Chain A
Amino acid sequence: MKRFKPDNKGYYGTYGGAFIPEMLLPNIATLQASYLEIINSESFRKEFRQLLKDYVGRPTPLFYSANLSKRYHTQVFLKREDLNHTGAHKINNTIGQILIAKHLNKQRIIAETGAGQHGVATATACALMGMECTVFMGAVDMKRQAHNVERMRMLGARVVPAESGSRTLKDATNEAIREWIRYPEDTHYIIGSVVGPHPYPDMVAIFQSVISDEIKLQVKAKCGKEHPDIVIACVGGGSNAIGAFYHFIDNGHTRLIAVEAAGMGLESGKTAASIAMGRKGVIHGNMTFLMQTEDGQITEPHSVSAGLDYPGIGPAHAYLWDTGKIEVVSITDEAALKAGLMLTRMDGIIPALESAHAIAYLEYLNAAPEDVVVVNLSGRGDKDLPAYQKYFQSCPID
């Protein structure tokens, strides 16, 4: 089957592209011209595969949750991306991109991070490859994900607080872009999601597509089915979702469900649901759906989950939604926190608050008993203990 990809200018339909200032053009043009060639080269493929296997710990298991299956009267499988080294799917991409950076002879890595998972995964890859690493993180996120800040520092990364705007993921991304403008020559920018100018959305999707690659084989082995019937993933920028969907897009069979963060509720003004509440526009170098004012100022998102706290969404998801190839739904902070606790008590797995949004949607799914439902458990929840604790103090566990 033909691979899911943008056109040669980086557009998925009318979404995507590369809306970059001239200062970034040499770097972006080099990446555009070389990423596919590098990724398809035998040496890259061999090294990438080997590292994913021996260093990251892939393939990650596909766990049949008897408890969730019973509760929701269907067959629920959890794709255990939380069992990757560093505790989330983010490392699939950082390993891929650090190899790209090496091919391009870059000595220095910069990254943005929201929840800190991408920052930790980047700092980890840099430690492994002996690269200098600077991670930009919203000052608000540094507080709510302090544990990950310490991990990055221990790994040798410099963590720089983004103090502009809402001081979350969007602002960390602005700061990383500015840093790249200041130091274009020796630096590679490892974007953590399927956002940014072309070729980032496609490049990151390729690296994350290993998730659905494995799901496909595992579903076949466990259930004898060619495809899962339903795949559910949370979506902020959308990297774990595109990875979980990738090989099932357009197969005419699998329902693909992306779960946005509704925050305090879609109409509350405190939400991060870009498809539900956004309009088409340009953010961070690509055309997509984003939350903005009538005047085109990007609004401050809200989600209890730092990794979903972003006002835009990857252009591939905007296109897939626009053309009816995926469903996009949303889950509130509270429902995600509840689902996180439910999974913890039911299966002994503490999920990241991001992933808890995907789990929470099972409540509304109404799948058939024979359906194979795969929920992408994108990360583990150790980093979210303070948020969980705060919630349970106000709503005691019964």
Chain B
Amino acid sequence: MSNRLTDLFAQSDRFKLSLFFTAGYPRLVDTERILTALEEGGVDFVEIGFPFSDPMADGPVIQNSSQQAIANGMALKVLFGQLKGIRDRIRIPLVLMGYLNPVLQFGMQQFIANCVTCGVDGLILPDLPVEVYVDQYKAQFEAAGLAFIPLITPQTSPERIRFLDTHGSGFIYLVSGPGTTGGDKCLEQEAAYFERVKAMPLRLPKVAGFGVRTKSDIELLRQYVDGAIIGSAFVRHLEAGWSNASVAHFVAALK
């Protein structure tokens, strides 16, 4: 089954840039406007966070945006309402990221069905362990053509990376350095880790995120991986007040 995300990485070797934002933040109705600004600004794909009250892998910036988004009324049913028909206007691949509990309360089957209807291409669910995914959901994800994007860290063993590469799809997400999102670890410190993963012949493309902020971070990552995701730094940009032009400027400054 064709998947925009898989196609994106298959079509060219160009380094891919993705930005993350929290749905419902700064305002409930911003989702489509931000997507449009990002597509026009030239990002390769987008990661949309759906908020959770207790995001254990996230740092303060994304925690705050999640809390505000919930207060604004964001929920999965609202997000799917906003994304319905989005494929008439937005063409770049869309990845949803969030925690398991809201998905379970929405219902996994219904969640998958809504992703398909809205044209979502991949999912990052940090607290859904790959073992549980393989046991319970993999068949449904594959039937729906949805990518399940696994995370790895500097502590992940080579055997485990191969296991995740076998069962994941879309791309493999290199958490760049130990930490929650928005960390201030210097990426150079993780050069050995990037080097090690780069040397592994994996099935999936490699994309780095967590603590990626600047153009120089991107320049460094170009040597090792196929793409990068910037989250907290962009959420902070949105927080400060944004326009299509400011987003385009933000993206251009990274390239």
Interface residues of chain A, those whose CB is within 8 Å of chain B, are: 17-23, 25-26, 164-165, 170-171, 174, 177-178, 181-185, 279-285, 292, 294-299
**Given A23-B151, A25-B160, A181-B178: A281 touches B105 (CB 8 Å cut-off):** yes
Whether B178 and A282, one on each chain, are in contact in the complex, defined by CB atoms closer than 8 angstroms, is: no
Q: Chain A interface: which of B7-15, B113-121, B123-131, B239-247? A: B123-131
B254 within 8 A of A: no
Instruction: Decide: A19 and B183 in contact? CB cutoff 8 A.
Output: no
B128 proximity list for chain A (CB < 8 A):
19
Interface residues of B in 75-114 (CB under 8 A from A): 75-77, 99-106
Pair B152/A22 contact, Cβ less than 8 Å: yes
Of all A-B residue pairs in the complex, the 7 with the closest CB atoms, nearest first, are: A296-B105, A296-B102, A295-B75, A21-B126, A297-B53, A22-B151, A26-B155
Q: Does B132 contact A (CB under 8 A)?
A: yes
Within B26-79, which residues are at the interface with A (CB < 8 Å)? 51-60, 63, 67, 70, 75-77
19 A–B contacts from the bound complex (CB under 8 Å):
A21-B56, A21-B127, A23-B151, A23-B155, A26-B155, A26-B157, A164-B63, A164-B67, A174-B55, A279-B105, A281-B105, A282-B100, A285-B127, A295-B77, A295-B106, A296-B102, A297-B52, A297-B53, A298-B54
Distance between Cα atoms of A283 and B105 in the complex (Å): 12
Given B75, B76, B180, which contacts A181 in the complex, CB threshold below 8 Å? B180
With a CB–CB cut-off of 8 A, which chain A residues contact B63?
Answer: 164
Query: How far, in whole Å, are A292 and B103 apart by their CA atoms in the complex?
Result: 13
Is there a chain A Cβ closer than 8 Å to B156's Cβ?
yes
Asked, given contacts A19-B127, A26-B156, A174-B56, whether A296 binds B103 with beta carbons under 8 Å apart, the answer is: yes
Q: Is there a chain A Cβ closer than 8 Å to B209's Cβ?
A: no
Chain A residues with CB below 8 A from B56, complex form:
21, 174, 177-178, 181, 284
CB distance from A177 to the nearest CB of B (A): 5
CA gap between A211 and B183 in the complex, in Å: 42
- Hey, what's the 0/1 contact readout for B177-194 against A, CB within 8 Å counting as 1? 011100100000000000
Asked whether B54 lies within 8 Å of A295 as measured between CB atoms, the reply is: no
Contact A292 B101, beta carbon cutoff 8 Å: yes
- When the two chains form their complex, are residues A184 and B101 in contact, meaning their CB atoms are under 8 A apart? no
User: Are the C-beta atoms of B100 and A297 separated by less than 8 Å?
Assistant: no
Task: State whether A18 touches B129 (Cβ < 8 A).
Answer: yes
Instruction: Give the shortest distance, in Å, between B83 (CB) and chain A (any CB).
Output: 16
Smallest Cβ distance from A313 to chain B, in angstroms?
15
The interface residues of chain B lying within 8 Å CB-to-CB of A18 are 129
Contact status of A21 and B151, CB under 8 A, knowing A174-B54, A178-B180, A298-B54: yes
By beta carbon, the residue of chain B nearest A17 is B132
Contact of A297 among B77, B102, B104, B164 (CB under 8 A): B102
Q: Tell me whether A297 and B70 are in contact in the complex, defined as CB-CB below 8 angstroms, given that A19-B128, A21-B126 are known contacts.
A: yes
> B residues within 8 A CB of A177?
56
Q: A23-B175, A25-B155 are in contact. List 19 more A-B contacts (CB 8 A).
A: A18-B129, A19-B129, A22-B126, A22-B150, A22-B151, A22-B164, A23-B57, A25-B160, A164-B63, A174-B54, A181-B57, A182-B179, A281-B104, A282-B100, A282-B101, A295-B76, A296-B102, A296-B105, A297-B51
What is the distance, in angstroms, from A288's C-beta to the closest C-beta of chain B?
11
Q: Is the CB of A21 within 8 A of B57?
A: yes
Chain A residues within 8 Å of B106, by CB: 295-296
| CA–CA, A19 and B136, complex, Å | 13
A170 to B54, CA, bound (A): 8
* B153 in contact (CB, < 8 A): yes
Question: Which residue, of B53, B76, B160, has the highest number of chain A Cβ atoms within 10 A?
Answer: B53
Chain B residue numbers with a CB within 8 Å of A280 are 104
